[in-house]
Amino acid sequence: GIITLILATDMARHAEILDSFKEKMENFDYTNEEHMTCLKMVLIKCCDISNEVRPMEVAEPWVDCLLEEYFMQVRVKERCNCTISPF
């Protein structure tokens, strides 16, 4: 379950996840595991992008960490001759 939620933060799947959630909303069933997983995926996405609404002194250190992680991943992918995602 944790891996599914982490992968839900991948912006390449953003539209797919939101469309799935919108389909389930009309008849959302809290006892349905698939519905609950979809809800969790949307919630983790909200948490993932929430930094943009925080005060600058809180948000900026997190942006620095994010950029450091991104460029570190790019260097690893370059060494492995892997495709580098623009996101």
* Counted domains in the chain: 2
Does 43 share its domain with 64?
A: no
Q: What is the pTM of this model?
A: 0.64
Does 60 share its domain with 30?
A: no
Does 56 share its domain with 16?
A: no
Contacts 24+ apart (CB under 8 A), 9-15: 9/44, 9/45, 9/48, 10/87, 11/87, 12/85, 12/87, 14/45
| pLDDT tens figures, 45-84 | 988 888 778 899 998 998 899 899 989 999 999 999 988 8
Domain of 56 in residue numbering reads as 51-86
Three-state secondary structure of the chain: CHHHHHHCCCHHHHHHHHHHHHHHHCCCCCCCHHHHHHHHHHHHHHHHHHHHHCCHHHHHHHHHHHHHHHHHHHHHHHHCCCCCCCC
For the segment 17-38, the average pLDDT, to the nearest whole number, is 96
